[in-house]
Protein backbone atom coordinates (compact mmCIF):
# COMPACT_ATOMS: atom_id res chain seq x y z
CA UNK A 1 0.00 0.00 0.00
CA UNK A 2 1.28 3.49 -0.87
CA UNK A 3 0.68 6.85 0.83
CA UNK A 4 -1.95 7.50 -1.85
CA UNK A 5 -4.02 4.59 -0.53
CA UNK A 6 -5.89 3.77 2.66
CA UNK A 7 -7.32 0.62 4.23
CA UNK A 8 -10.92 1.47 5.13
CA UNK A 9 -11.88 -0.54 8.18
CA UNK A 10 -8.35 -1.92 8.19
CA UNK A 11 -8.89 -4.21 5.20
CA UNK A 12 -10.53 -2.45 2.22
CA UNK A 13 -7.92 -0.69 0.08
CA UNK A 14 -8.97 2.47 -1.77
CA UNK A 15 -7.24 5.47 -3.25
CA UNK A 16 -7.31 8.47 -0.94
CA UNK A 17 -9.06 10.70 -3.48
CA UNK A 18 -12.66 9.72 -4.16
CA UNK A 19 -15.71 11.22 -5.84
CA UNK A 20 -18.87 12.66 -4.31
CA UNK A 21 -21.89 11.98 -6.55
CA UNK A 22 -24.33 14.37 -4.86
CA UNK A 23 -24.19 17.01 -7.61
CA UNK A 24 -24.99 14.65 -10.49
CA UNK A 25 -28.40 15.49 -12.05
CA UNK A 26 -30.67 12.45 -12.24
CA UNK A 27 -33.67 13.72 -14.24
CA UNK A 28 -34.11 12.16 -17.72
CA UNK A 29 -32.47 14.04 -20.57
CA UNK A 30 -29.12 15.43 -21.55
CA UNK A 31 -28.05 16.28 -18.02
CA UNK A 32 -28.61 12.69 -16.92
CA UNK A 33 -26.59 11.37 -19.84
CA UNK A 34 -23.79 13.70 -18.82
CA UNK A 35 -24.04 12.42 -15.24
CA UNK A 36 -23.62 8.85 -16.46
CA UNK A 37 -20.55 9.93 -18.43
CA UNK A 38 -19.04 11.71 -15.42
CA UNK A 39 -19.47 8.66 -13.17
CA UNK A 40 -17.91 6.38 -15.78
CA UNK A 41 -15.04 8.80 -16.38
CA UNK A 42 -14.30 8.89 -12.64
CA UNK A 43 -13.75 5.14 -12.64
CA UNK A 44 -11.68 5.37 -15.84
CA UNK A 45 -9.42 7.84 -14.03
CA UNK A 46 -8.83 5.35 -11.24
CA UNK A 47 -11.32 6.61 -8.66
CA UNK A 48 -12.41 3.64 -6.57
CA UNK A 49 -14.43 5.37 -3.82
CA UNK A 50 -17.75 6.94 -4.81
CA UNK A 51 -20.03 8.50 -2.20
CA UNK A 52 -23.81 8.72 -2.52
CA UNK A 53 -26.86 8.72 -0.20
CA UNK A 54 -30.58 8.06 -0.10
CA UNK A 55 -31.06 11.80 0.48
CA UNK A 56 -29.60 12.58 -2.94
CA UNK A 57 -32.81 12.46 -4.92
CA UNK A 58 -34.56 9.96 -2.63
CA UNK A 59 -32.46 7.16 -4.03
CA UNK A 60 -32.28 8.46 -7.59
CA UNK A 61 -28.55 9.11 -7.22
CA UNK A 62 -27.98 5.50 -6.18
CA UNK A 63 -29.95 4.30 -9.20
CA UNK A 64 -27.94 6.59 -11.47
CA UNK A 65 -24.65 5.14 -10.24
CA UNK A 66 -25.91 1.60 -10.73
CA UNK A 67 -26.99 2.43 -14.28
CA UNK A 68 -23.60 3.96 -15.00
CA UNK A 69 -21.32 1.46 -13.32
CA UNK A 70 -23.03 -1.92 -12.84
CA UNK A 71 -21.58 -4.51 -13.02
CA UNK A 72 -19.05 -2.81 -10.77
CA UNK A 73 -15.35 -3.04 -11.46
CA UNK A 74 -13.40 -5.13 -8.95
CA UNK A 75 -12.27 -2.95 -6.07
CA UNK A 76 -14.82 -0.19 -6.65
CA UNK A 77 -16.40 0.99 -3.40
CA UNK A 78 -19.78 2.71 -3.70
CA UNK A 79 -20.74 3.91 -0.26
CA UNK A 80 -24.17 5.22 0.62
CA UNK A 81 -25.87 6.81 3.62
CA UNK A 82 -29.15 6.26 5.48
CA UNK A 83 -30.89 7.87 8.43
CA UNK A 84 -32.81 10.73 6.82
CA UNK A 85 -36.46 10.41 5.81
CA UNK A 86 -38.67 12.42 3.47
CA UNK A 87 -42.19 13.27 4.59
CA UNK A 88 -44.51 13.47 1.58
CA UNK A 89 -47.23 15.30 3.52
CA UNK A 90 -44.99 18.20 4.55
CA UNK A 91 -42.51 17.91 1.66
CA UNK A 92 -39.66 18.00 4.19
CA UNK A 93 -36.61 15.96 5.16
CA UNK A 94 -36.08 14.94 8.76
CA UNK A 95 -33.51 12.95 10.69
CA UNK A 96 -34.82 9.43 11.25
CA UNK A 97 -32.62 6.86 12.92
CA UNK A 98 -35.30 4.48 14.10
CA UNK A 99 -33.98 0.93 13.62
CA UNK A 100 -36.91 -0.12 11.43
CA UNK A 101 -36.32 2.87 9.16
CA UNK A 102 -32.59 2.23 8.89
CA UNK A 103 -33.24 -1.41 8.06
CA UNK A 104 -35.79 -0.52 5.38
CA UNK A 105 -33.48 2.08 3.84
CA UNK A 106 -30.61 -0.39 3.69
CA UNK A 107 -32.84 -2.93 1.95
CA UNK A 108 -33.88 -0.28 -0.57
CA UNK A 109 -30.27 0.77 -1.14
CA UNK A 110 -29.27 -2.83 -1.81
CA UNK A 111 -31.96 -3.04 -4.46
CA UNK A 112 -31.13 0.30 -6.10
CA UNK A 113 -27.38 -0.35 -6.13
CA UNK A 114 -27.99 -3.94 -7.36
CA UNK A 115 -25.79 -5.52 -4.71
CA UNK A 116 -26.25 -8.08 -1.96
CA UNK A 117 -23.93 -6.27 0.43
CA UNK A 118 -22.99 -2.60 0.89
CA UNK A 119 -19.31 -2.62 1.77
CA UNK A 120 -19.49 0.75 3.57
CA UNK A 121 -22.76 2.08 4.96
CA UNK A 122 -22.77 5.45 6.71
CA UNK A 123 -25.29 6.99 9.09
CA UNK A 124 -26.06 10.31 7.42
CA UNK A 125 -26.80 12.08 10.69
CA UNK A 126 -27.45 11.05 14.26
CA UNK A 127 -31.14 11.35 15.05
CA UNK A 128 -31.39 13.15 18.42
CA UNK A 129 -34.80 11.60 19.07
CA UNK A 130 -33.53 8.01 18.85
CA UNK A 131 -30.91 6.64 21.27
CA UNK A 132 -27.53 6.42 19.57
CA UNK A 133 -27.18 2.84 20.80
CA UNK A 134 -30.36 1.91 18.91
CA UNK A 135 -29.18 3.53 15.68
CA UNK A 136 -25.68 2.08 15.72
CA UNK A 137 -26.97 -1.20 17.09
CA UNK A 138 -29.30 -1.58 14.11
CA UNK A 139 -26.36 -1.13 11.74
CA UNK A 140 -24.36 -3.64 13.76
CA UNK A 141 -27.17 -6.17 13.32
CA UNK A 142 -27.26 -5.53 9.58
CA UNK A 143 -23.52 -6.08 9.46
CA UNK A 144 -23.91 -9.37 11.33
CA UNK A 145 -26.49 -10.41 8.74
CA UNK A 146 -24.00 -9.71 5.95
CA UNK A 147 -25.98 -6.87 4.39
CA UNK A 148 -23.32 -4.27 5.13
CA UNK A 149 -19.59 -4.68 5.54
CA UNK A 150 -18.39 -1.62 7.43
CA UNK A 151 -20.09 1.19 9.33
CA UNK A 152 -19.43 4.92 9.13
CA UNK A 153 -20.82 8.07 10.73
CA UNK A 154 -21.41 11.59 9.42
CA UNK A 155 -21.41 14.97 11.19
CA UNK A 156 -20.43 13.68 14.60
CA UNK A 157 -18.47 15.11 17.48
CA UNK A 158 -15.66 13.49 19.42
CA UNK A 159 -18.00 12.31 22.16
CA UNK A 160 -20.51 10.79 19.75
CA UNK A 161 -17.74 9.00 17.91
CA UNK A 162 -16.40 7.57 21.14
CA UNK A 163 -19.87 6.45 22.23
CA UNK A 164 -20.53 4.76 18.90
CA UNK A 165 -17.17 2.97 19.01
CA UNK A 166 -18.18 1.38 22.32
CA UNK A 167 -21.00 -0.35 20.42
CA UNK A 168 -19.41 -1.26 17.09
CA UNK A 169 -16.27 -0.69 15.04
CA UNK A 170 -16.44 2.58 13.08
CA UNK A 171 -14.61 2.59 9.75
CA UNK A 172 -15.22 6.16 8.56
CA UNK A 173 -16.33 9.61 9.62
CA UNK A 174 -17.73 12.06 7.09
CA UNK A 175 -17.76 15.61 8.47
CA UNK A 176 -17.67 19.05 6.88
CA UNK A 177 -14.03 20.08 6.59
CA UNK A 178 -11.81 22.04 4.24
CA UNK A 179 -8.86 24.41 4.13
CA UNK A 180 -10.97 27.32 5.39
CA UNK A 181 -13.32 25.41 7.71
CA UNK A 182 -11.52 23.34 10.33
CA UNK A 183 -14.22 23.21 13.00
CA UNK A 184 -13.95 19.43 13.16
CA UNK A 185 -10.19 19.26 13.66
CA UNK A 186 -10.66 17.48 17.03
CA UNK A 187 -12.71 14.78 15.28
CA UNK A 188 -9.99 14.42 12.66
CA UNK A 189 -7.40 14.00 15.42
CA UNK A 190 -9.57 11.31 17.04
CA UNK A 191 -9.84 9.52 13.69
CA UNK A 192 -6.07 9.63 13.24
CA UNK A 193 -5.56 8.07 16.65
CA UNK A 194 -7.99 5.25 15.86
CA UNK A 195 -7.05 4.70 12.22
CA UNK A 196 -10.52 5.77 11.05
CA UNK A 197 -10.86 7.20 7.55
CA UNK A 198 -11.99 10.84 7.52
CA UNK A 199 -14.06 11.79 4.45
CA UNK A 200 -14.41 15.59 4.36
CA UNK A 201 -17.56 16.75 2.65
CA UNK A 202 -17.49 20.17 1.01
CA UNK A 203 -13.72 19.70 0.68
CA UNK A 204 -13.36 22.81 -1.50
CA UNK A 205 -14.98 26.03 -0.23
CA UNK A 206 -13.64 29.55 -0.41
CA UNK A 207 -13.78 31.99 2.47
CA UNK A 208 -13.10 35.72 2.61
CA UNK A 209 -11.35 37.56 -0.21
CA UNK A 210 -8.03 37.65 1.61
CA UNK A 211 -8.02 33.88 2.00
CA UNK A 212 -8.97 33.39 -1.63
CA UNK A 213 -6.12 35.65 -2.70
CA UNK A 214 -3.60 33.64 -0.69
CA UNK A 215 -4.85 30.35 -2.12
CA UNK A 216 -4.67 31.80 -5.63
CA UNK A 217 -1.12 32.99 -4.99
CA UNK A 218 0.00 29.56 -3.81
CA UNK A 219 -1.73 27.97 -6.80
CA UNK A 220 0.09 30.26 -9.23
CA UNK A 221 3.43 29.48 -7.62
CA UNK A 222 2.72 25.73 -7.64
CA UNK A 223 1.52 25.70 -11.23
CA UNK A 224 -1.92 24.44 -10.19
CA UNK A 225 -5.47 25.67 -9.76
CA UNK A 226 -6.86 26.89 -6.41
CA UNK A 227 -9.14 23.84 -6.31
CA UNK A 228 -6.17 21.52 -6.75
CA UNK A 229 -4.31 23.34 -3.99
CA UNK A 230 -7.25 22.92 -1.62
CA UNK A 231 -7.45 19.18 -2.35
CA UNK A 232 -3.69 18.68 -2.14
CA UNK A 233 -3.65 20.49 1.21
CA UNK A 234 -6.24 18.05 2.55
CA UNK A 235 -4.31 15.02 1.33
CA UNK A 236 -1.12 16.28 2.92
CA UNK A 237 -2.74 17.39 6.16
CA UNK A 238 -3.58 13.93 7.47
CA UNK A 239 -2.86 10.34 6.40
CA UNK A 240 -6.47 9.34 7.18
CA UNK A 241 -7.95 12.06 4.95
CA UNK A 242 -10.01 10.80 1.98
CA UNK A 243 -11.47 13.82 0.14
CA UNK A 244 -14.53 13.20 -2.03
CA UNK A 245 -14.88 16.32 -4.22
CA UNK A 246 -17.95 16.28 -6.42
CA UNK A 247 -18.80 17.83 -9.75
CA UNK A 248 -21.14 17.38 -12.70
CA UNK A 249 -18.48 18.33 -15.27
CA UNK A 250 -15.84 16.01 -16.67
CA UNK A 251 -13.32 18.86 -16.95
CA UNK A 252 -13.68 19.61 -13.24
CA UNK A 253 -13.49 15.91 -12.41
CA UNK A 254 -10.21 15.59 -14.28
CA UNK A 255 -8.89 18.70 -12.53
CA UNK A 256 -9.82 17.26 -9.14
CA UNK A 257 -8.27 13.85 -9.79
CA UNK A 258 -5.04 15.47 -11.01
CA UNK A 259 -4.73 17.13 -7.58
CA UNK A 260 -3.69 13.75 -6.23
CA UNK A 261 -0.32 14.24 -7.90
CA UNK A 262 0.26 17.74 -6.51
CA UNK A 263 2.74 17.94 -3.64
CA UNK A 264 2.82 21.28 -1.85
CA UNK A 265 6.08 22.59 -0.42
CA UNK A 266 6.50 23.07 3.29
CA UNK A 267 6.48 26.84 2.82
CA UNK A 268 3.22 26.69 0.89
CA UNK A 269 1.63 24.45 3.51
CA UNK A 270 2.69 26.84 6.29
CA UNK A 271 1.01 29.73 4.50
CA UNK A 272 -2.16 27.75 3.93
CA UNK A 273 -2.25 26.44 7.50
CA UNK A 274 -2.60 29.99 8.77
CA UNK A 275 -5.76 30.73 6.78
CA UNK A 276 -8.26 29.18 9.16
CA UNK A 277 -8.34 29.27 12.96
CA UNK A 278 -8.41 25.98 14.79
CA UNK A 279 -11.13 25.38 17.40
CA UNK A 280 -10.03 26.05 20.94
Residue 54's CATH number: 3.20.20.100
Distances in Å between the Cα of 135 and the Cα atoms of 44, 110, 130, 201, 211 are 36, 19, 7, 22, 39
Residue 267 lies in a domain: no
Predicted local confidence at residue 86, as pLDDT: 87
Residue 243 lies in a domain: yes
Residue 100 lies in a domain: yes
Predicted local confidence at residue 193, as pLDDT: 98
pLDDT tens track of the chain, all 280 residues? Answer: 778 999 999 999 999 999 999 999 999 999 999 999 999 999 999 999 999 999 999 999 999 999 999 999 999 999 999 999 987 777 789 999 999 999 999 999 999 999 999 999 999 999 999 999 999 999 999 999 999 999 999 999 999 999 999 999 999 999 999 999 999 999 999 999 999 999 999 998 755 556 789 999 999 999 999 999 999 999 999 999 999 999 999 999 999 999 999 999 999 999 999 998 888 7
- For residue 193, the enclosing domain spans 5-206+233-262
Residue 92 lies in a domain: yes
Task: Give the number of residues written for the chain.
Answer: 280
Is-contact 9 149, C-beta < 8 A? Answer: yes
Residue 165 lies in a domain: yes
Active-site annotation, residues: 56
Residue 199 lies in a domain: yes
Taking the alpha carbons at both ends of the chain, their separation in whole angstroms is: 35
Predicted local confidence at residue 180, as pLDDT: 93
Q: Any idea what the Cα angle at residue 195 is, between residues 193 and 198, rounded to 5°? A: 100
Domains in the chain, number: 1
Q: Any idea what the Cα angle at residue 19 is, between residues 210 and 8, rounded to 5°? A: 110
Residue 224 lies in a domain: no
Residue 191 lies in a domain: yes
Predicted local confidence at residue 210, as pLDDT: 66
Predicted local confidence at residue 279, as pLDDT: 82
Q: Kind and range of the H or E element at 256?
A: helix 250-258
Amino acid sequence: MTSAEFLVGGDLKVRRLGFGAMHLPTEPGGDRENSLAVARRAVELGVDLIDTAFMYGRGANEELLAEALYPYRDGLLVTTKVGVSFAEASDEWRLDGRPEVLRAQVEEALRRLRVERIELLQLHRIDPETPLADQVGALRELRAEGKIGRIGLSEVGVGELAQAREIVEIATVQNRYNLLDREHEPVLVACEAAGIAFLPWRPVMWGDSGARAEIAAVAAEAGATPTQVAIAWLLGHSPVMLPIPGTARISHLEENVAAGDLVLSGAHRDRLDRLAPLPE
